[in-house]
Structure 1
Amino acid sequence: MQIRDLPYADPGVPDVRSGGRFLLWLGRQQLGGQVKCLLWGLLFQLGIAGLPIGVGLAVQAVVDRDGGRLALGVGLLALLGCAIAAGDTMAHRVAVTNWITAAARVQQLLSRKTAELGSLLTRRVAAGEVVAVSTGDVEKIGWFVEAASRFAAAAVSLVVVCVGLVLYQPDLGVVVALGVPVLALAALPLLPRATRRADVQREKAGRATELASDTVAGLRVLRGIGGEELFLGRYRAASQEVREAAVHSARMWAVIAAVQVLLPGLLMLTVVVYGARLALDGRISVGELVTVYGAVALTHHALRTFEEIAMAYSFSRPSAKRAARVLALSRTTTAPAPARDAEELPAGDLYDPVTGVLAPAGRFTAVVCGDPDLAGRLADRFGGHPPEPGEDHASVLLGGVALDELTLDAARTAVLVQDKDPVLLSGTLRELLDVPSSGAVAARAALEAAQCGDVLDALAQASVDTGGDPMRTRITERGRSLSGGQRQRLALARSLVTDPEVLVLDEPTSAVDSHTESRVADGIKRLRAGRTTVVLASSPLLLDLADRVVLVHEGAAVAVGTHRELLADEPRYRAVVTRETDDERDEPAGHALDGGPRRLGDLDDVLAEKLEEELEGESA
């Protein structure tokens, strides 16, 4: 896999049983790149290890005044220099490719999981943690994947050097062969403590990132209540904890680095002193002493790779653990049934066996929940997402077919759920409305039904096109250049363009005024005629247009009828829709204010009469 070939056609199915297994799976997925890096790394490392042979040969040739052997030594050094240059260049190139491709694979897996879970992802994992995994954690995971092959090359080269020295000069070679493994494993007892400190640092850094991310998302609310200073205080405290943990971790890594410098130095001194005695005794030549000394000196480069792989694993392991936790999330909590073909999309009534809510096919059904959180969970269930832990696992049925039995694409084609807080991606208005659809609903018709006239006028004024075409106007990220009501209506138009078999809308008009809301409700009903539409709302203007209204109380459907029927006959329904107090709920049905009518359309008249009576009393 080359960088130019990214993204992957299929990033694969990861092993997410643990962080270590996930790292191992990543390494196996790009085995070819790992082998290439290993081979080029061996050329580089063995080229460095061979330099002392050429130097020793040249030094001994000078001592013996042998011009031919001197030329041979110089030629060998030149050849090794070319090998080192080629090996270093290509090993670095392949290593960076491994790093980038591993990171790209993880990002693709995270993107696929995000698309699969939708809004359910942030209900199970904090948004800040998702951001941390998709940014800093991805980089650290890629670091370990690419460092693994370089470490393998360094380990093989050390074995070759030790064996070669034993064969070349047994007296000194044995000393080196015994000392190098000690140097390589010297830092091993320190790694558990360093790893724990690194884990603490990563955990605190992750919490700080989550705090910053979640605060940015709610910055407008914080400003509205004067909470900036409270956030700054919390973030300063979290930042200081991260700093202290980082310093604490760096101290341990500094100790490991010192060990990696101190012990090779002691080995080198041992080789020099012992070798000098052997040379004085005539047991080895000066050239052989120089060769062994050079080989020991150059092993320091390979030994540094041992420290790097330890650091890479210590930092990547918690990152891989977090990534595996996110990737392990599933759309279903039970074993999925055999997936049906995308062409065999079910049609019919939408039924939730947990709450008992039934939305007949081809009709406009409104669902009223006194608990907004319950409404959100119900919308997720209608979209085929699994329930929260501890809730009933029964799947929603569409035409008698469980949504869990459908592939993700088929389920999304059959049922589209618009969240309470839909997100607009950056791009032009034409790109925003260019979504998979049946083709039966034109963009203009959807915009008209969603009452986006003022939005189009605003975009036309901001358009850089000479014709003032609002469809070519660029919308900023998350629609920040628009008001809340404008964003909500554009998102509604996008959902209407899709024209799914079943459309589920969670509070689609909560950010618009009552006059606009009435026109939007009428537009939804007109454009969705003959299609199944479910609206979770408590707005009387929407409920009055619904063909069927279902009241959900304490997690179960308790009443079904039209808006006016439930308003007259169901006290619990009135309590939700009219925001009725407990005292008013105890009065006889049909009377709210001094025996006045309970009909919602008459409430304004009743309030006006009461105000007039109070004013007359004050005048008297």
Structure 2
Amino acid sequence: MQIRDLPYDDPGVPDVRSGFRLLLWLGRMQMGGQCKALGWGVLHLASIASFPAVAGLAVTAVVDRSGGDLALAALAMAVVTLTVTTGDTLLHRAAVTNWITAAARIQQLLARRTAALGATLTRRVAAGEVVAVSTGDIERIGWCVEAVSRFSAALLTTLGVCVALVVYQPQLGLLTCAGMLALALAVLPLLPSATRRADTQRERAGRATELAADTVAGLRVLRGIGGEELFLTRYRRASQQVRHAAVRTARMWSFIEALQVALPGLLLVAVVWYGTRLALDGRIAVGELVMVYGAISFLLVPLQLFGEFAMSYSFSRPSAARAARVLGLRRPGEEQQVTALPARPDARERAAPVGSTDVREGLHDPATGLRAPAGLLTAVVCGDPDAAGHLAERLGGHPASAAAPGAAAGTENAPQSAAGEGAGRAQGRRREGEDVSVLLDGTPLDAMPLARARAAVLVQDKDPVLLSGTLAGLLDVPSSGAVDAGRALKAAQCDDVLAALVQGSPDAEGDPMRARITERGRSLSGGQRQRLALARSLLTDPPVLVLDEPTSAVDSHTEARIARELAALRSGRTTVVFTSSPLLLDSADRVVFVHGSRAAAAGTHRELLGCEDAYRAVVTRAPQSTAGRPAESRAGNAQTEGAEST
């Protein structure tokens, strides 16, 4: 794999059982690159190890006054110099390629996992941890993958040199091998402590990153309540903890590196002293002593590479564990997806009149009994705004654990769906106590391929995010082509928003599409942000559109116009709007009242105002009347009426 070939067509399926297994999986996925780096590393280090032998030949040639032998030694020195340069250059190239491609593989996997989980990611993993994994942790993982090839080459070369020394000069060779073994035994006990300190540093750094991310995200609120100094003090404290942990880690690694310099130096002194005595006794030649000295000096290089690998593994292991934890997150039903119906109906399906045999069943939540018939604008009224937000996310295929409190408790009593096999699967899962998926045309959303489910159902949150860039970039989203940008902006009543964007962007030269939008649309009011987000959702033109309080920050006159335009633009398309606004409710084809965790009543807005006290209390903000039947007693009839209207 070359850098120019990135990104991967298929980054593979990672082993996320632990951080160590993830590192092993990365090594296996890059076996070709690792073998290439290993080969060049062995060539490079073996060439360096050959220098003492060549130098010894040269010294022997000088002592023997042999010009021919000296010329051969010079030629051998030139060849070794060339192989050292070539090996070093290509080793660096291969090792850095392994580093970058490993980091890119993890980055690509994280991006795919983030896209698959969507908004549920930050509810299961802290945002700061996600930032830490996608930045510093990826670099450390790549560093470890890169260091493996250098370590392997150093290990093979060290073994080869030690064996050669034992064969060539047994006494000095055995002394050298014993000394190298003692060095390893002296350093190895220190590595667990260094690893623990590195883990502590990474943990505290992750907490500081989380705190910084949360502070920046809530800076506007903090300024409003005067809490900047409080959070600044907290971040300073967390930052100091990171600094102290980093200093403790650096001290340990400095001590290990000092040992890696001092102990080999002592070994070198001992071997030279012993070799000098052997030379003075005439048991070895001067050239042989020079050769052994050079070989032992070379062994300092592999020792440094061993230390580098130990350090890279110590720092990458907690990073790999964190990455494995994020990559191991799954959405419900992801492992057992089934083939679903086409996500986007063709033109004939979109134009089919309501009530015809071509109309599909729409959206059905067995847990609450909520139904949104295909081709209709369904408004949903919830007494609890938080429950409305959870239910909107659930309709988008998010886990049932995110549903409104008590939804799971009502699962056993959820009505049977007439969706055939899909409903049967859902009922079977209910009997097993598992989460019940929302059904789209009888097929569980969590059993659909993710891309198809995302294309079929679009959920606009109550607080939508606007990315920075131009308005044209904001509206550059996948769409059916049936709705253009001008029509979507008009339906969302964005005329004043466009004027404000043009006024704030002199470089746009009067073209709203070239106007700049600041990060998260902070330069716009809440209502303006809502309308731009609504225009983006309408432009997408999904088969099923779920809107959570799309006009909560809009004035009543603008809201009335949006209600009319929304009903007209989404005619014949399945639309679900969570709202308690009478203007939107009056324009809906059907209104469902969710009381507690159940769909308690269904009908038109005016019908429910006349017969549902609880509904009237939520919509009009008036105290609930005690007259008439309670909403719960009419739940069964309402569900029956809703099923008939489907």
Please give the TM-score of this superposition, normalised by the length of structure 1.
Answer: 0.90
Contact 2:144 2:316 in 1 (8 A): yes
Q: CA deviation at 1:462?
A: 4.6
Question: What amino acid does structure 2 have at the position aligned with 1:60?
Answer: T
Q: Distance in 2 between matches of 1:362 and 1:549?
A: 14
* 3-state DSSP of counterpart to 1:518: helix
1:288 aligns with 2:295: no
Question: What amino acid does structure 1 have at the position aligned with 2:388?
Answer: A
Stretch moving more, 363-372 or 226-235: 363-372
Q: CA deviation at 1:90?
A: 1.2
Distance 1:186 1:370, change over 3 A: farther
What per-residue deviation string (whole Å, max 9, x for no partner) do you get for residues 314-349 of structure 1? 111111111111111112157423334757979422
Distance 1:119 1:466, change over 3 A: closer
| Matched residue, 1:388 | 401
Q: Distance in 1 between matches of 2:508 and 2:535?
A: 25
* Match runs of 1:399-438 below 5 Å: 399-438=441-480
| Matched residue, 1:378 | 391
Distance 1:317 1:352, change over 3 A: same
* Match runs of 1:123-522 below 5 Å: 123-332=123-332, 335-340=335-340, 342=342, 347-388=360-401, 393-462=435-504, 468-522=510-564
Question: What amino acid does structure 1 have at the position aligned with 2:116?
Answer: E
Question: What amino acid does structure 2 have at the position aligned with 1:367?
Answer: V
- When the two chains are superposed, the root-mean-square deviation of aligned CA atoms in Å is 2.1
| Matched residue, 1:600 | none
Distance 1:518 1:389, change over 3 A: closer
Distance 1:399 1:156, change over 3 A: same
Stretch moving more, 153-162 or 507-516: 507-516
What per-residue deviation string (whole Å, max 9, x for no partner) do you get for residues 187-236 of structure 1? 21111111111111101100000010011111101111111011011111
Q: CA deviation at 1:133?
A: 0.7
Q: CA deviation at 1:518?
A: 2.1
Contact 2:502 2:508 in 1 (8 A): no
Distance 1:14 1:245, change over 3 A: same
Distance 1:343 1:383, change over 3 A: closer
Segments of structure 2 that go 5 or more residues without pairing to the other structure are 346-358, 409-433, 630-646
Q: Distance in 2 between matches of 1:183 and 1:292?
A: 18
Contact 2:393 2:402 in 1 (8 A): no
Stretch moving more, 427-436 or 9-18: 427-436
Q: CA deviation at 1:464?
A: 5.7
Q: CA deviation at 1:70?
A: 2.0
Segments of structure 1 that go 5 or more residues without pairing to the other structure are 591-620
Distance 1:277 1:224, change over 3 A: same
* 3-state DSSP of counterpart to 1:152: helix
* 3-state DSSP of counterpart to 1:315: helix
Q: Distance in 2 between matches of 1:457 and 1:42?
A: 66
Distance 1:181 1:376, change over 3 A: farther
Contact 2:334 2:447 in 1 (8 A): no
Contact 1:428 1:473 in 2 (8 A): yes
Q: CA deviation at 1:388?
A: 2.2
Q: Distance in 2 between matches of 1:230 and 1:356?
A: 46
Contact 2:547 2:578 in 1 (8 A): yes
Contact 1:413 1:500 in 2 (8 A): yes
Q: CA deviation at 1:451?
A: 0.7
State which of 572, 587, 591 in structure 2 corresponds to 1:530.
572
Q: CA deviation at 1:257?
A: 1.3
Q: Distance in 2 between matches of 1:347 and 1:410?
A: 16
Contact 1:450 1:493 in 2 (8 A): yes
Q: Distance in 2 between matches of 1:342 and 1:8?
A: 28
Q: Distance in 1 between matches of 2:193 and 2:278?
A: 42
Contact 1:333 1:386 in 2 (8 A): no
What per-residue deviation string (whole Å, max 9, x for no partner) do you get for residues 450-473 of structure 1? 111112222334556676221223
Q: CA deviation at 1:3?
A: 1.4
| Matched residue, 1:7 | 7
Q: CA deviation at 1:389?
A: 7.8
Contact 1:503 1:532 in 2 (8 A): yes
* Match runs of 1:37-186 below 5 Å: 37-186=37-186
* 3-state DSSP of counterpart to 1:186: helix
Distance 1:558 1:163, change over 3 A: same
Contact 2:343 2:456 in 1 (8 A): no
Question: What amino acid does structure 1 have at the position aligned with 2:171?
Answer: D
Q: Distance in 2 between matches of 1:84 and 1:170?
A: 27
Question: What amino acid does structure 2 have at the position aligned with 1:37?
Answer: A
Distance 1:252 1:370, change over 3 A: farther
Q: Distance in 2 between matches of 1:255 and 1:421?
A: 52
Q: Distance in 2 between matches of 1:10 and 1:444?
A: 38
* 3-state DSSP of counterpart to 1:530: coil
Query: Sequence identity, in percent?
Result: 67
| Matched residue, 1:585 | 624
1:564 aligns with 2:564: no
Q: Distance in 2 between matches of 1:514 and 1:127?
A: 36
Distance 1:344 1:413, change over 3 A: closer
Contact 1:365 1:548 in 2 (8 A): yes
* 3-state DSSP of counterpart to 2:299: helix
Contact 2:602 2:608 in 1 (8 A): yes
Contact 2:107 2:134 in 1 (8 A): yes
Question: What amino acid does structure 2 have at the position aligned with 1:69?
Answer: D
Distance 1:163 1:417, change over 3 A: same
Q: CA deviation at 1:516?
A: 1.8
Stretch moving more, 436-445 or 470-479: 470-479
Q: CA deviation at 1:496?
A: 0.6
Aligned residues: 587
Question: What amino acid does structure 2 have at the position aligned with 1:216?
Answer: V
Q: Distance in 2 between matches of 1:481 and 1:302?
A: 57
Please give the TM-score of this superposition, normalised by the length of structure 2.
Answer: 0.87
Contact 2:344 2:455 in 1 (8 A): no
* 3-state DSSP of counterpart to 1:119: helix
Contact 1:11 1:105 in 2 (8 A): yes
* 3-state DSSP of counterpart to 1:434: coil
Distance 1:344 1:182, change over 3 A: farther
Q: Distance in 1 between matches of 2:621 and 2:63?
A: 103
Q: Distance in 1 between matches of 2:294 and 2:323?
A: 44
* 3-state DSSP of counterpart to 2:575: strand
* 3-state DSSP of counterpart to 1:9: coil
Q: CA deviation at 1:589?
A: 7.7
Distance 1:389 1:511, change over 3 A: closer
Q: Distance in 2 between matches of 1:420 and 1:533?
A: 16
Contact 1:144 1:312 in 2 (8 A): yes
Q: CA deviation at 1:352?
A: 0.4
